[in-house]
Amino acid sequence: MNDTVALITGAARGIGLATAALFNAEGRRIVMLDRDTDELTEAAATLPGALAITCDVSSPQQVAQAIAEVEQTYGRLDILVNNAGVADFGPLAETDFSRWRRVMETNLDGVFLMSQACLALLSARGGAIVNIASISGLRASTLRIAYGTSKAAVIHLTKQQAAELGEVGIRANCVCPGPVDTKLALAVHSPEIRAAYHDAIPLNRYGTEREIADVICFLASERASYVTGQVVASDGGFDATGVGLPALRG
Ligand code: NAD
């Protein structure tokens, strides 16, 4: 296990950092990618031996450079976690094309570009891709015109990857987190949204970064060696329930 290399995008904080820490504790070598150099440098300093690379996953040139650096440093890649994401909650009428593109270029283009760039390294020994979508990709909701659509596309992209890459020994799975108190969520979850989530979630609370990281690391590991093309919601039961839970609780 100690030779294996796991690359995590958006690893400077939040779910990505928790995932990097867990892989690190498992004894894997880790590559942390993020476009925020300062936060990335600080985060990587807490994880011994981590390779930190500043990279915007929406830039084909930066992605190619980053993967060339991974190849030069380690000569292999076993796990890719496409976690980098941005959230922007707004209605259709107010989502102009630049807002739409800002969400799509990271959440969807980034997953496509990173997966494609890592293909040769991953297929050399067989590997695993874990893409991070969201419960907003599993069901439609107000204000998620761009974010929800980007995440639904990531769910389908995962299935496309599983269908195509199984024969070269690459598994692809998707994790859909429910709400987690990260910088991303704090920026878009108003008090009303927070109350609504508590109401709608059977476990009646937000998840933690570590609870999402545990599912990501399981899907990436040998313990999930016969699992591919799957979408796992780590969401306190949110996706399992429909209309009426708050009323029934009352
Ligand atoms: P976060 O904002 O704490 O961390 C995201 C990281 O990604 C940041 O370090 C940021 O700099 C980086 N990043 C953003 N765009 C990038 C780009 N183009 N290139 C490289 N790095 C980039 O967010 P988080 O809550 O930890 O989110 C992680 C993933 O989980 C995202 O894909 C998000 O959509 C998803 N998610 C989060 C929640 C939640 O409630 N927090 C819920 C569902 C899904």
pLDDT digits (tens, 9 = 90+) for 91-111: 999 999 999 999 999 999 999
Q: What token pair was written down for 240?
A: 């399992």
193 CB within 6 A, ligand 1: no
Confidence at 247, pLDDT banded by 50, 70, 90: confident
Catalytic, 147? Answer: yes
Query: Any residues with CB less than 8 A from the CB of 240 and at least 6 apart, and which?
Result: 202, 233
Rounded to whole angstroms, how far apart are CA atoms 71 and 9?
16
Ligand 1 centroid from CA 185, angstroms: 9
| DSSP sequence for 6-53 | EEEESTTSHHHHHHHHHHHHTT-EEEEEES-HHHHHHHHTTSTT-EEE
Ligand 1 centroid from CA 211, angstroms: 15
Domain assignment present for 183: no
Of residues 141 and 82, more confidently modeled: 82
The predicted model scores a pTM of 0.98
Confidence at 237, pLDDT banded by 50, 70, 90: very high
pLDDT score of 236 more than 90 = yes
Domain assignment present for 145: yes
Query: Any residues with CB less than 8 A from the CB of 144 and at least 6 apart, and which?
Result: 89, 136
Q: Tell me if 114 sits within 8 A of 82, measured CB to CB.
A: yes
**Domain tally, the chain:** 1
Q: Tell me, what's the pLDDT at 21? A: 98
Domain assignment present for 31: yes
Q: Return the ligand 1 atom nearest residue 206 CA.
A: 40
Rounded to whole angstroms, how far apart are CA atoms 206 and 186?
12
Domain assignment present for 66: yes
pLDDT score of 2 more than 90 = no
Domain assignment present for 121: yes
Query: Any residues with CB less than 8 A from the CB of 174 and at least 6 apart, and which?
Result: 130, 131, 132, 133, 154, 155, 158, 230, 231, 232
Of residues 219 and 246, more confidently modeled: 219
Domain that holds residue 43: 5-178+209-233
Q: Tell me, what's the pLDDT at 71? A: 98
pLDDT tens track for 156-209: 999 999 999 999 999 999 999 999 999 999 888 889 989 988 989 999 999 999
pLDDT tens track for 24-35: 999 999 999 999
Ligand 1 centroid from CA 70, angstroms: 22
CA-closest residue to ligand 1 atom 16: 84
Domain assignment present for 53: yes
pLDDT tens track for 126-160: 999 999 999 999 999 999 999 999 999 999 999 99
| Angstrom distances, CA of residue 66 to CA of 70, 99, 114, 161, 192 | 6, 26, 10, 21, 40
Mean pLDDT across 217-246 = 93
Confidence at 1, pLDDT banded by 50, 70, 90: low
148 CB within 6 A, ligand 1: no
Domain assignment present for 128: yes
- Distance of alpha carbon 153 from the chain centroid: 13
Domain with residue 40: its CATH number is 3.40.50.720
Q: Tell me, what's the pLDDT at 85? A: 98
Confidence at 11, pLDDT banded by 50, 70, 90: very high
pLDDT score of 249 more than 80 = no
Domain assignment present for 65: yes
Q: Tell me, what's the pLDDT at 250? A: 67
